Structures are given as C-alpha cells and as structure tokens.
Amino acid sequence: MTRILWINPVGTDAYDAPIGAELRAEAAPGTRVDVCSLPGAGPQHLEWNALEAVVAGPTMGVIRWAAEGGRYDAAVIGCFYDPFLRGARELSGSMAVTAPAEACLHVASTVGERISILVGRKKWIPEMHENVVKYGFADRLASFRVLEMRVEDFQADPEFTQQRIIAEAEAAVEHDRADAVVLGCTIEFGFYREVQRKIGAPVIDAITAPLRYAEFLAALGADHEWHTSRAGGYDAVAPRELSWIPAVEPILNVDPR
Amino acid sequence: MTRILWINPVGTDAYDAPIGAELRAEAAPGTRVDVCSLPGAGPQHLEWNALEAVVAGPTMGVIRWAAEGGRYDAAVIGCFYDPFLRGARELSGSMAVTAPAEACLHVASTVGERISILVGRKKWIPEMHENVVKYGFADRLASFRVLEMRVEDFQADPEFTQQRIIAEAEAAVEHDRADAVVLGCTIEFGFYREVQRKIGAPVIDAITAPLRYAEFLAALGADHEWHTSRAGGYDAVAPRELSWIPAVEPILNVDPR
Amino acid sequence: MTRILWINPVGTDAYDAPIGAELRAEAAPGTRVDVCSLPGAGPQHLEWNALEAVVAGPTMGVIRWAAEGGRYDAAVIGCFYDPFLRGARELSGSMAVTAPAEACLHVASTVGERISILVGRKKWIPEMHENVVKYGFADRLASFRVLEMRVEDFQADPEFTQQRIIAEAEAAVEHDRADAVVLGCTIEFGFYREVQRKIGAPVIDAITAPLRYAEFLAALGADHEWHTSRAGGYDAVAPRELSWIPAVEPILNVDPR
Amino acid sequence: MTRILWINPVGTDAYDAPIGAELRAEAAPGTRVDVCSLPGAGPQHLEWNALEAVVAGPTMGVIRWAAEGGRYDAAVIGCFYDPFLRGARELSGSMAVTAPAEACLHVASTVGERISILVGRKKWIPEMHENVVKYGFADRLASFRVLEMRVEDFQADPEFTQQRIIAEAEAAVEHDRADAVVLGCTIEFGFYREVQRKIGAPVIDAITAPLRYAEFLAALGADHEWHTSRAGGYDAVAPRELSWIPAVEPILNVDPR
Amino acid sequence: MTRILWINPVGTDAYDAPIGAELRAEAAPGTRVDVCSLPGAGPQHLEWNALEAVVAGPTMGVIRWAAEGGRYDAAVIGCFYDPFLRGARELSGSMAVTAPAEACLHVASTVGERISILVGRKKWIPEMHENVVKYGFADRLASFRVLEMRVEDFQADPEFTQQRIIAEAEAAVEHDRADAVVLGCTIEFGFYREVQRKIGAPVIDAITAPLRYAEFLAALGADHEWHTSRAGGYDAVAPRELSWIPAVEPILNVDPR
Amino acid sequence: MTRILWINPVGTDAYDAPIGAELRAEAAPGTRVDVCSLPGAGPQHLEWNALEAVVAGPTMGVIRWAAEGGRYDAAVIGCFYDPFLRGARELSGSMAVTAPAEACLHVASTVGERISILVGRKKWIPEMHENVVKYGFADRLASFRVLEMRVEDFQADPEFTQQRIIAEAEAAVEHDRADAVVLGCTIEFGFYREVQRKIGAPVIDAITAPLRYAEFLAALGADHEWHTSRAGGYDAVAPRELSWIPAVEPILNVDPR
C-alpha cells in the first residue's frame, strides 16, 4: 500500500473533500490518499506570490509531520506554482515529494512534444514560466493561454469553465501547435477527461498527474532506493536547525478505504 | 496485469535471458516482461550510429507486431541512444513506448538536480548529448564521464566494471557537482544498487528506470487516456504507408510467471 | 572533376531523372552528379520517421558503396530530415557527406539572418526543429510555415505549388521578419528561382544548396585535408563491425556528360 | 533624503548593528538606512530553503509595514537567495524593493563580463543558480566557487575569511576567466575593499551593492515614476487578500544621523 | 559633483541643445551634463551599421579626450546600438562608460519582467537583438515593435510620434505581455512621461535611463572602486597602441549651471 | 574567373605579400586574389576593440570601392573579430562579403562537432565569444585555448609558434573533446597543414577557410542569385547616406596570375 498526503497549501478546507474524492477515483488500486489543508484561517488561494509566502512556514511544518516516522510514502504540495518544493525536499527524508507543475510537465513532455499551459490570469505566467525553465521544458513550451478566470471561479460554474478550457485547449493545438495541454491550476480539477475527448489530444490534469507521479516516485524509492539525493541542492536540513521548523499536524480528510 | 516488451535492438539474443531476469526482479508485482532481440544475425551492439541504422527497419517491425491487437501495454527500445523513438511512437497506437535515456533523465532530474552520465567511450557522447538537449535536460547535465570500456566489456569482468563505475560516479559527485548518476548503457545492468550504496547518491539504472517508466506510462494510458498524442510530431503513420513497415515477430524470452 | 552521388533515400526511382536533370543544370562546371534511389520497392517518401527507419539500412549500404575505393568525392542524402547523417559520416572515409537541412541552413544563415522553412505538413516540424537546434540555428529561426501539401503533391500541379510557396514565403518575410526562406523538402525542387524573384529575398532550394555544399566540402577535403573528423562523434565504424553493413550497389541515373 | 530599510530576514538581531554601521559608511550622503531583523526567535541564517520558508510570512509583513504610508523609499531583503522578491514587489506600492543577488549581478555584469560568485557551501549553488538564470546572467557566469564555510563562520575569524576569499577570488580570475567577483552571502560583509585591492579586479559586496542599487531604484521612482510595473507578474496583491498579510512592525536599528 | 559627457555620435550638432536641456532636467541635483557631437560633418544618424563604422574612430577620440586627466566621471555613447562600448571601455581608465541599450535594459528588467522595445524600422532589430542577447536579456524580451518612422521623423511632428508610441506601447502590454516598454532610439526623447501615464506601465527613456545609469556607475567607481574591470575583455589598450587613437576635443554644449 | 579582395584591415602592408602568396596557393584554380591593407599609417593589428574602431571607416570605404561596378565577386575582412561585417554587407551590393570567424565556424561545425579556437591572449575571448554566439555555434564550442602570444609574435619565430599551436590543439582534442580546431587569428597562417597532420584532426585555417567560403558565396550569388538578403538586417544603405561613406581605393598586392 502506498500512502500519499495531498496538501492543499491554503487556509481553507473547502477543497479537501472534493479533491480527495477525485484523487481516490484516479489513484492506483493500492494507494491511499489523505488530503489536508493548513491549520487556521489563511489565504483561500495562492494567486499572488506574497500569499505563497504566508503559507510557506505551515507547509514546511506539515511536510515535517508527514515525513516523521514514515507516516507517508509521498506528499504532494497541491498548487501549480510548486511552492517550496526545494524546502520540502530538504525535510522529506525518504518520503517522496512532488508538485503539480513538475509532474504535469514530465508527463506532458513524454506523451507529447509541445505543451500549452492553461492559466487563470496572465499574472500567473511569469512565476510559472520560471518553473518551466527550471525543470528544463522551456523549449517544449508552445504557449501559456489565459482563461481569464480566478481560482475561485473554476468550480463555481463548471459548464462555463469547461467551455472556456475547451476553447483555449483547441486554440493551443490549432494555433500554437501544442500536442499536449496542461491545466495550470489544481482547482481546474474535474474537467480533463471531457476536454481531451473533445480536442483529441492529451489534457494533463493538475491533480491527477502529480498523484500518479507521487505514486511512481514512492515506488522508485521503495523498490530501488532512488530517494531524493542529498549530495547537492537537496541537502537535508541539519538537525540543529530543525527546531525552527516544528512539525504541524493538519486536520485530515482521511481516505475512507 | 501490465504486459511489457523489452526489445534489445541487436542481432544477438545473448542478453535476452540475463536482462529478462534482471527486469523481472525489478518490475512491479503486476508486470509481465517479455524480452526479445531482432530476428537473424545482426550487430551485437549499437556503438556506432550506422549500426543503429541497420537495425532500424526490424525494430520498427517488432514495434508494429507488439502494438497489434493490444499485444503489449508498453514497449521499451533497449538502447541508451533511444533509437527511433519517434518512429516507434508513430506506430504504437495506444501502446506506450519509451527508451532508456528518456526514462533515466526524467527520473534523475526529479530525484536530483545535476546529472552525470557514465558512458563507455567518448564516441558515444555527441549523439547522447543531442538526446539530453532534445528532452530538455541540457542545463541539468553536470558531465558525461567516460569509463573507457566497450559494450561487450561491461559484463565480461563484473568486478572490474563495478570498480570503474564507482570511481567515475564518485568523481562525478565530487568534481562535477552531480547529485544523480545515470548509467549510460543498458549493458551496464546489475551494478546500480551496489554503486549507489557506495557513493551515497542515487544511481539510475538504464534497464530498471525505463522498465518502471514504461509501467508508469502504461498506467497513465489505461487509467487516464494519456496516450501518445497524435496532434503533432507523433502523428500516426497513415494506413496507406503501413505496408512498407511489415510486422516482425521476434523470438521471445517469455516471462515465466 | 568532382563526382557527387545524390541519394534519393526512397524505394522509387520516380524522382531520379528529374532531380538529376535539375542538379546537373545547377552544378559547377567540373561536377558530375549521379543520382540513385534505393534498390527494391520501398517508401515513396519519408514523411514519417518510421519510414526513415525502414530505409536506414539500405541507405548506409549505398553510402558504403559510394565511399569504397574513392568512387565519389561527396554524397548527399536527399531528404530534408537529413536522415542518418551521423551514420553516413561514420562510413564515409574521405568522401564528404551532407544533407539538405544542414546545407540550406549554413547557406541561409550566411546570406540572411532570420530564416523561415516552408514545410508540407505540420507533422514534419518537430523532427526538423531538432535538426535546426542541433546545427545551431535555433536563434536564427523566424518560423516554420506549413504549405498544407504532401510530398507527392509538390510536382503534381506545379503552378499551384508555386503559388502556395510564394504566398507563404511572402508571409514569412512580412510577418515573421525572415530575410531568407528555405524550401523544406527536396521535392519542392524547380521553384526557387521564380519565388525569389517574386518575393525579393533569397530562397534556398533543398536540392541545389546541398549539391553546392557537397562540392564545397569535396574541395575542402581534396585541397586542405579538411575531411570529416574522426576524433569525436564521427569516429569511423570499426572494421570488425563493417560486415553488418554490406555495401549496396544502387541503380544509377548516370550523369550523361 | 532617501530612506532605506535593510531587512535581515532572520530571527536574530546579531547582525543588525554591524551591518547597519557598514551600510551607513557605504551609503550616499542623503541616504538614511534603518536595519531590522524579524520579530521573535527564528532561524539564524537561511542556508536551507526550508528556513527561508519559515521566515517568508514575517518578511512579507515587514515589507507591508515598510511600504505603508510611504515609510521607506526602498527596502532590501538582505539574503543572497533574494527570497520572496516577487512577493515583496507585489506588496511594495511605490517603494522600491531589491535584493543582493539581483543588485550584485546587475553591477558585476556592467563593470565586468564574466562573473564568479563565492559561496559558503556547495549546497547553496543550485538555488542561487536558478536566480542567475532568472535574472539573465547565466551566460555571464564564469563559476561558483565554494569557500567551505558556513554563514556563521564568516565573521568569526575575519582574517581567515579574508584569506579564503582572496584565494578563491584569485582562482576565479586566473582559472575561470572571471573579471568580476561577487561575494555570495551578505555575511561576507567587510572584506571587499581589501580583496579587490589584492586581486586587481572588482569585488562586488553583497550588502553594499544592493544598498546602492536600492538608492538608484528609489531615485528612478521618485524622479521618473519608474516604479515596479503592475502590468504583469508584479501585479499588486488585491486589497481583498491583504488581510492575510498583516503588517509586521520590526524592532529597528535606526540610522542615528 | 558628477560630471557627465553625453556624446551624440553623429556629425551634426542639431540634437545637442535639445538633448542637453532634457538631460539637465532629468539629472540628479549634483550632476553636470555636457553634450557634444562629433567634429566635422558626418552622418546625421546611425540607422545603418556602416554609418556607425564611419563615426567609430572619432567617437574613440572623444572618449580618450573625456577620460584624460579625469575630465569626466562618466560618458554616455548616445545611440541605442551602443556602438563601440567595448572599445570605449578599453580607453576609459577610471571614467565610467555606458550606453542606452545597456542602461535601459538593466532598468527595465528590474522594474518589470518582460520588455518590449519600440524601434523605428525593422532594419534596426537584428543588431539591437544581438545586444539584447549579449547583455543577457533575451529571455526577458517580449517583442520588438516597429513604429515605421525614421530617426529624423521622431522630433518632426511630436504629436504624431507620441500617438504612434502610445499605440505600440499599448499593444506591447496587451498582446505581447510586456510589463515594461523601452524607447529604442535616443531621438525618441521627450515622450516617456506622457506615454507611461497613458499606458499605466513604466516606459524607459533612451536618454534618461543611461544618464541615470551613468551617474550610478560614477558613484560606484568613486565610492567603492568598482571601476571597469581590466582582468578580461575590457583590458586597457596598451600604451604603445594609444598613438593610433588620438584624443579628439569636441565642441561642447556646456551645462550652464 | 572569381575575383576576390582580401582586406587586411590594418595600417601596415607588412602582411599583404605573404598572405597574398598563401592565399593564391590555397585558392581554387579559377580564383584571382588581390590583397590590400588600409591606406595611410594605422594600427598594426586589432587586438583591442578600440583599434577596430579606428579602422572602421576606412574599411567601409574599401568595401564600397570593391563593390563598385562589380570590381570583385567577393571580399574578405581579414581579422578574426569579423569587424563590421554587417556594415560591409549593407554596402556590398551583389558582391559577397565574409570574414574569418564566420567562415571557419561554418566549416569546422560541418567537418566536426565540437570546436576549439586557439587565440593569442585571453583578452580576445569575450569579443570572439560574442561572434560564436551570434553565428549559432555556442553549443558547439568545446573551448577557447590561449597561446599566450601577441599577433606580432606569430610569424616572428614560426617553429615556436607551431609548437605552441600543436600543444594547445592536442590538449583541445584530449581534454576538451574538440574534434575540430580553429586558428583564431589570420596571422596564425602557414601552420595548419602540419598541425593537423600531427594531431589527426582537422585544423581550420583563418585565411584559407574564409577564402574558400568567399569563393563558395561568390558562386552561389553568380549561379543562383543567392546574394545578401536586403529584407532585414542587411538592408542596403540608402543612397542619400552614401556620401558619408566615400569609396577608398587601397594599394593592391595584385594577383600576378
């Protein structure tokens, strides 16, 4: 059994149950997915980098808690900015950690060659583009396309959202020569199957892909000891510093299976 | 159950049994791995690109055969030059196809940040470097390091080979600031566990990583319809052209399980 | 006298005579150009990479034959994907080998600065883009433009083809700021003079440019011993491996002069 | 008069007084520099990214406080990782914000062409390299060189530190062809004048350069309205979200002048 | 007091007075700006690189004169092609030298992230693009936009010019996702304040930005000895060669203050 | 017959006769090569960019003279910095113009894959590197290697020079994995044949390669109208501006044949 913790790094549990349900429907048979958000009230989304900063500390705390004593085999930081992935890996021990952009881009660049990412607002693009560059996929990027929607809009009127995603995904294939489309926000969940049926090209979902990538990484660690390397930039935080990063136990939406 | 075909794209079956045994030991519980090489006598290895050319046609034929009627869920073209991966994907239908360099680099760039690839001879580097660039990992490349060994040497004196790999892997971490090491030839199989124990950093094996990546891609296809995109450069070969690429049934080293 | 072999790497001799006539009209006075295609029936064009794979072996065989005993001073592999150029160079001894994309891009990037390549279908772009990157001209690329024609269409209705090429070439200069246009398929032969007259910018022809580049390389070899280097990735195939790559004597369309 | 706030984004005020003294000695005549660290106990340095995460929230709070009502003309986030620079700019209104790596690289790439950065430990390199890439100076980077010292070592034995810096700076010029050297940690303060005298090439100091760059940016804003653009990735945090980022008043080391 | 020499590297003094007036209005309080053009009749603008070549020698002569005996603290070569910046720096001793493209790009890439440059004619773009690449800002470039105006047109009908600049600047923000706009010719002076008010994003002026950057560099040299490095490509011209580059005393438009 | 003008862009005719003799020995049978330097006394070499600036105007004048009335089919600006190649092309009409770095890099990147350039002093590298980037060969660059010699040293003690070139060329192949070596100064003439015999890899000569490339470009222009494009950055200087660039008739070292 693979135990995965999906962290919604926000100060609301509003998405925990629906994302938990989706993830459990998409997971491999032997996977158990718990979902949590951050304790206490806090930002409802991370559209601004300053909001990421606010949730940074608690997110590290949850990662520490998740890694302690092998509680989880893998954790996902559930925001497409992949916030604090380096910090999380410094704390993760033998637990795998991944995040949506990393996972989606690895998958998309394997099933296709040119990738379009559908974001809510153009504000998001520069920070996300930095990640595309960092992961190595800049030359694979066909385009960012803007849905002109905010995070909170995606689940408000699903039919409208789906229509918008289809329109931009089709334009990405037609005009930008993309052959794979990535949904650039975790809250765009629930749409990918219908969209890829419509456009005839793979649409990589920002919660499903990291879930599956987390399972994959967990298996690589368990079976081949291919854990996060400690020989370079993911050097583990020295024990003497760990007191500054206390473990934070989140309220869990537990996998009922 | 996931059915995977590992193709040794050479004209000798000498490696089919030992690679089959290794792969089955490393595979996920539900995976069945058949191994084949190419029918008839042919090149014993692909150190030169001209030898790749010679096996290109038969390799395509085996891919066609493997994809027919859903015989396999995934195939791996088992040479670190990733020969004809594009052609194979044009023929693969809903079967996943991958190859060692692609798989190893995706894994290595996730568990680490700077990658060294250990090759046999410096002759190999330019073609392999082209693939590193193509897949997007050029900025992650710490170094190529040369073992000064030929393909046929790797299994001839395993102790010597292991010693050489350890020496260069250590130098890669120490001098090139690599934090992940990739073994740049499938015939370097059998060494990675011991080497990574010695050097304290992940060593990605050129048969195990593509096997696991193939399983992963097969699952993504089966569960999410994330198959090879047909909207761009992996456009499927038109039916009218398929007669030029007849299916080739290989002699199989069948998974006994 | 410079003896050049133009290889149409396809299984039809339909283009041998017309391409031979064009090449002889464009060649330097002292050049003799023989043209051949591959023995036996085979793919009529190489629009898919899997078709390239099918002709790979025979193409290597023809290269070996051409290089034997100094039969030719230079050979051109006549497809804009530049298939197996590395393999051919491993086999070529002191014979020069080039191919259309390489030759066109060197010429275009000297007479101009920003290059547009006119391809038949968008399917061709990713593989051709890999070559543009490999040769170093990615930052010079203004655009790929798609004629929406198949290889077999180019010579079927020349007036229509010319119209399409002019339209896209003009758009390349106007909208993409190209100042040199490359015809991205050898079967687009016969049009460049008229097109460049119309658009007022150089249009580099995919058979003429490699012919002239082959003459140039042959002269560099003969006069200055600037042959293909054997010190790196073009290391010659070891003699012990050559039996896997038997020479293939093609049916020649001989230069009548 | 230009009012600048230097933020030591750590949970100790140990460096506030000495850095304040240095900064005031280096500032323009009309500049007043207050220095602060973060309220409460916290990480003593940010060698690990997870420690950056812990101080992220409070740092944003201090930025908000500094920008309120035009308290400061410019702020500097005083760590060479340039942590949360994007978030800070989202909150800064018309106050300028900069950070050491950004400032040092702009200066170094103007007075020289190839830059070496002297870091404490190799662990720091990957995150800092991401910034070098992001700011556009990857092709200017001659090398990172490792002093093999921790942050807390730099001021412990100044003579030793200076010796180490001179040794690596000289090697950077000699072996890596650097013509400008950057000190890659703010706590390497106090050494640059002596080092550049010894090596005969500019040595850019990680507190002096951002101070001067902050003054420069403040002047550009005041005189030409060249403030942080709100048209893209530095879009200001929406008012409705600001409650998640409460202003934090730090304890100040006030400029006595 | 900081003494700056602005060189209009053309053979007309028509712009000396108006540019002088603008510069003095934009300079820091303690700055004195003299303006000169080149002695004798010569090109009225440098739209073609061949015209730059014609003024190259005299420009070097003026730089020598300016640097002699510490006459000026900084000089600006006032053309957006940044002509001969390297040569000028070889001759500048402890005087700072900068030029418009360098200065504008450093400023624009700090106040924004994606930059559009508004040029007069598309002819200018390739040479300017070379500078964008050289300075490191290629990945920050949103677009070049063409005003379809010649240098001599900019000040002929200011209202029309302003209208054109506003139109293209707005399009840059809207369509190219620029968040900072650079005016790509020094003769586009006098418009930036109104334009940036209209478009709501910073518009970096090609005379003001280099003036301020020159002041900044002069301060860095005076206060911190961060002068042009002599350890690499800015190696000073050897004394024995200086006779080939005689000092040229220009006719000055002297700062009346 | 192809008429080529080789311009030594310096104020001494000391190299005209020996370079003329070398060029005529290396040229194609139908080529006539005249050699000239610049009228009047001037810099003896162009090691500093400021010296290039001094000869810029006269060089343009000679180019104008050479292009007038079809005097020459091609001209070479004989310095490895390729000075003013853009300006020369703006003036060249249907005459081809090239320069050593451009020509050597096109040749070297075809006969090999990784290139080392042997320069006299490290001072030369940054400007030459800019050209390597501009022409597209940055990813092909194995290394610059420094001979520690000045231009005037190369022909002073030929035996010593040859020894130095062989030593660095061998090191380039051995340590930097170069498979082609370029001599990075025209005054390194006369050595390439012996050096390449010794090291067993092609050594591209800085006068022979541009001569042959010039012949090649002349043929492309004459036979296919592939002249310098006027559609972009090589836009011809407008007639109204030509009076600023008067033709300069040089003193010729005429091909005696």
> Using a CB-CB distance cutoff of 8 angstroms, which residues of chain F are in contact with residue C26?
223-224
Q: Give pLDDT, residue C88.
A: 98
Give the β-pairing of D252-253 and D31-37: antiparallel
Structure tokens at F98: 């090239």
Contact (Cβ atoms closer than 8 angstroms) between residue F104 and residue F123: no
Residue B244 · residue A191 · CB < 8 Å = no
Hey, what's the torsion of the CAs at C226, C228, C230, C236, to 10 degrees? -140
Q: What is the pLDDT along chain C (257 residues), one digit of tens a residue?
A: 999 999 999 999 999 999 999 999 999 999 999 999 999 999 999 999 999 999 999 999 999 999 999 999 999 999 999 999 999 999 999 999 999 999 999 999 999 999 999 999 999 999 999 999 999 999 999 999 999 999 999 999 999 999 999 999 999 999 999 999 999 999 999 999 999 999 999 999 999 999 999 999 999 999 999 999 999 999 999 999 999 999 999 999 999 98
pLDDT score at E66: 98
Say whether residue F114 is in contact with chain B using an 8 A CB cutoff.
yes
Q: Do E179 and D113 touch (CB under 8 A)?
A: no
Question: Residue D127: what are its φ and ψ, rounded to 5°?
Answer: -65, -40
Of the partner residues E173, E216, E234, the one whose CB lies closest to the CB of residue D216? E216
Burial class (CB in 10 A: 0-12, 13-18, 19+), A13: middle
For range D120-133, the mean pLDDT: 98
Among candidate residues A20, A41, A46, the one with its CA nearest the CA of residue A101: A46
pLDDT > 90 in chain F, percent: 100
Average model confidence (pLDDT) across chain B? 98
Bridge partners (DSSP) listed for residue F33: F4
- What pLDDT was estimated at residue A171? 98
In the 8-state DSSP scheme, what is residue A233? T
Mutate to test the interface with F, among D174, D177, D179 (most CBs of F within 10 A): D177
Q: Distance (Å) from the C-alpha of residue F247 to the closest C-alpha of chain D?
A: 36
Query: Which whole-number Å values give the CA distances from E175 to A122, A146, B47, D232, E114, in the listed order?
Result: 11, 12, 49, 12, 12
Task: Check residue B200 and give its pLDDT.
Answer: 98
Cα B1 to Cα B4, B29, B219, B250, distances in angstroms: 10, 9, 10, 22
- Residue C229 DSSP code: P
pLDDT computed for residue B8 by the predictor: 98
Cβ-defined contact of A125 to D233 (cutoff 8 Å): yes
Residue among E94, E130, E226, E235 with most chain D CBs within 10 A, to mutate = E226
Structure tokens at E205: 């002026």
pLDDT in tens, E244-256: 999 999 999 999 9
Minimal CA–CA distance to C203: which of C190, C212, C194, C192? Answer: C192
Regions of chain E short of the pLDDT cut 70: none
B70-90: pLDDT as tens digits? 999 999 999 999 999 999 999
Here the tokens at position F76 are 């070479």
User: What average pLDDT is seen over chain F?
Assistant: 98
Q: Please tell me the distance in Å from D55's CA to the nearest CA on chain F.
A: 40
Cβ proximity of B214 and B103 under 8 Å = yes
**What's the pLDDT band for B231 if we cut at 50, 70, 90?**
very high
CB pairs under 8 A between A and C: 5
Confidence of residue B129 (pLDDT cuts 50, 70, 90): very high
Q: Is C125 helix (H, G, I), strand (E, B) or coil?
A: helix
Q: Do chains F and B touch (3 or more CB pairs under 8 A)?
A: yes
| A252/A33 Cα distance (integer angstroms) | 10
CA distance A53 to A48: 9
pLDDT of residue F43: 98
Q: Give the Cα separation of C76 and E206 in Å (integer).
A: 50
Q: Give the pLDDT confidence score for residue D172 in this predicted structure.
A: 98
Distance, in Å, from the CA atom of B54 to the CA atom of C245, rounded to the nearest integer, reads 7
- Residue of F54, F238, F244 lying closest to E244 (CB–CB): F54
Q: Which residue has the tokens 């994809």?
A: B67
E 47-106 residues inside an 8 A Cβ radius of A:
none
* Contacting residues of C for B86, CB less than 8 Å apart: 49, 126-127
Q: If you count them, how many residues does chain C have? A: 257
Q: What is the pLDDT of residue B64?
A: 98
Contact (CB<8Å) E114/A133: no
DSSP assigned state of A181: E
Taking the whole predicted model, whether its pTM rises above 0.80 is answered as: yes
How many contacts, defined by CB atoms under 8 Å, are there between A and D?
118
Q: For chain A (length 257 residues), average pLDDT per consecutive 10?
A: 97 98 97 97 97 98 97 98 98 98 98 98 98 98 98 97 98 98 98 98 98 98 98 98 98 95
Looking at the complex, report in whole angstroms how far the Cα of residue A255 sits from the nearest Cα belonging to chain E.
43
Choose, out of E141, E174, E177, E179, the residue to mutate when testing the contact with A (most A CBs < 10 Å).
E177
| ipTM greater than cut 0.90 | yes
Instruction: Give the gap in angstroms from C-alpha F98 to the nearest C-alpha of chain D.
Output: 27
Stretch D44-61: mean pLDDT, rounded? 98
pLDDT at A20: 98
Long-range (24+ apart) CB contacts under 8 A made by C251-254 are C251/C13, C251/C36, C251/C37, C251/C39, C252/C34, C252/C35, C252/C36, C253/C13, C253/C16, C253/C17, C253/C20, C253/C34, C253/C35, C253/C36, C254/C34
pLDDT at F104: 98
Q: What contacts D69, CB < 8 A, 6 or more positions away?
A: none
Alpha helices in B70-124 (DSSP H): 85-91, 100-111
Q: Quick check: C110 and F106 CB within 8 A?
A: yes
Give the chain B residue whose CA is nearest to the CA of D123.
B177
Residue C48 to residue B237, Cβ atoms within 8 A: yes
Instruction: Return the number of other C-beta atoms located less than 10 Å from residue D199's C-beta.
Output: 22
pLDDT band at B146 (very low <50, low <70, confident <90, very high): very high
User: Alpha-carbon distance C132 to E61, whole Å?
Assistant: 43
Cβ–Cβ of E113/A122 closer than 8 Å?
Answer: no
From residue D38, alpha-carbon distances to C181, D16, D59, D208 in Å are 60, 10, 7, 21
Residue B175, chain D, CB below 8 Å: the answer is no
What is the radius of gyration, based on Cα positions, of chain C? Answer: 17
The verdict on a CB contact (< 8 Å) between E130 and F127 is no
Residue A216: how many other CB atoms lie within 10 Å: 28
Q: For B38-66, what is the mean pLDDT?
A: 97
